[in-house]
Chains A and B, each alone.
Chain A
Amino acid sequence: MKKEYDIIVVGAGPAGSMAARFAAEQGVSVLMVEKDRDVGYPVRCAEAVGKEGVEEFIEPDDSWIKANINKLSFIAPNGTEAILEINQGAYVLERRIFDYELAKSASKVGVEILTRAYVNGLIFENNKVVGVKYEFRGEQKEIRSNIVIAADGVESRVGRWAGIKTYTDFRDMECCSQITVSNIQIDPSTLYLYFGKDVAPGGYFWVFPKGPDIANIGLGVNGLTGKSKSALAFLNDFMSKNYPDASILTSIAGGVPCAKTLEKISAPGIMLVGDAARQVNPLSGGGIASGMIGGSIAGRIAGESVKRKKPDYILTYDKAWYDRLGRRHIIFDNIKTGVFNFSDEKFNKIAESFNKIPHGKRTLGKLFTLALVNHPALLLDIAKVFVV
């Protein structure tokens, strides 16, 4: 380990690993620190991701692909099922291996990795972040760097210490509870999404297969719903009704900040990536691919900034992210606000109308168009996403 690094990345999830890798590829020194004992564990994720988003960064490998998905099944409150075939495909991952592989890919280009290093403060000089304070095996330590990249997930405390308002409104936080269950029967090529006030008001309920007899089953509800009923209580209700005898292999909780990206994701000496920057698709809650994209952009810019000795160059990251995905996420956020306020009757009607469209002609765009047919402003937003 060196005495100081050009760049320190806090957090070794997908966004952190990609930030570290893309920075190191510019020939600068990078240290990635992780608070937990393991990279990739514990998992706090439903593990579904579009193929395209992953394959931009890593060669597909059977060791971390648990299911190959080609259909989405939307289940309305009255049980009407609308099936959408997806050409581009998706995976259900084994995140504990996937994250490991991403970190390995970063280490291959020279990133040093330190686990069990809990960052608990920043070092400042002339109002610029110049390093981190951390606890390692009971000892308080410090290490300096030109740039700190905060990839510390939904907690997003590192950014706060740099003066950025990172906390998420509790009404936008999707609070999730999930179990991985075995000894069930499920089509391993379909992602199932349930909607409605009985299963997941202000969110959705998912059953994502990880094989023909195993699945991630869980849901997210926002903090407003959580005031009267917790995600765990919804999950228990669903399980006792649908799978009373399932064996539970894993049970986890998690928070997904489902709102548009933070207004500011860089400041002198610091950049935010992944969930910490709220680079989550606010509609789906998916954050693996978008976090990796955010990480890669930040890493590249950070590396170039060090190489060119232009510290201010990192401030161009906000615009680069906005152009690549941030703009889209604002639109998704508007759509989300519409969709999550739908009544059960509305969900039922949408599913029934969608089923009248022939299979070959069903697209996600058409589904949303149906959903928002009485919401002209949102329809315009949809057009922006799927047409422009």
Chain B
Amino acid sequence: MYRQAKTGKLLIDILPDRCDFCGCCVGVCPEDAIELKEAEIFIIDQLCTNCAKCVWSCPIEVIKFNKQGVLVK
């Protein structure tokens, strides 16, 4: 099953394997839509508006746009 973007054409996807868990994206998220634990990160689908502020703010290119949609379990 794929998670689809609710607004616009872009869908935001975090690549947790590459993440340093620095919290930069959480600090700029206007919707509080990113959950960050010690070594675990994910987007809360119900809250994310795909505004992309986290994509621009990620220092190490871990949050990207995904045009196909994101596979969810």
Contact = CB atoms under 8 A, between A and B. Distances in A.
A257 B27 contact: yes
Contacts, number: 92
Contacts of B27: 154-156, 167-168, 173, 255, 257
Contact of A255 (B24, B30, B32, B37): B24
Number of chain A interface residues as a range: 35 or more
Listed residue (B26, B30, B32, B60) with the most chain A CB atoms within 10 angstroms of its CB: B60
A35 B22 CA distance: 13
A170 B53 contact: yes
B24 A252 contact: no
Nearest to B38: A36
A268 to B, nearest CB: 20
A254 B56 contact: no
Interface in A128-180: 153-157, 160, 167-170, 173, 175-177
Contacts of B58: 175, 226, 230, 253
Interface SS, A side: mixed
B59 A255 contact: yes
Given A35-B38, A170-B53, A157 B26 contact: yes
Interface in A173-190: 173, 175-177
Contacts of A231: 59-60
B30 A167 contact: yes
Interface of A: 35-37, 42, 44, 116, 118, 153-157, 160, 167-170, 173, 175-177, 223-224, 226-227, 230-233, 251-255, 257
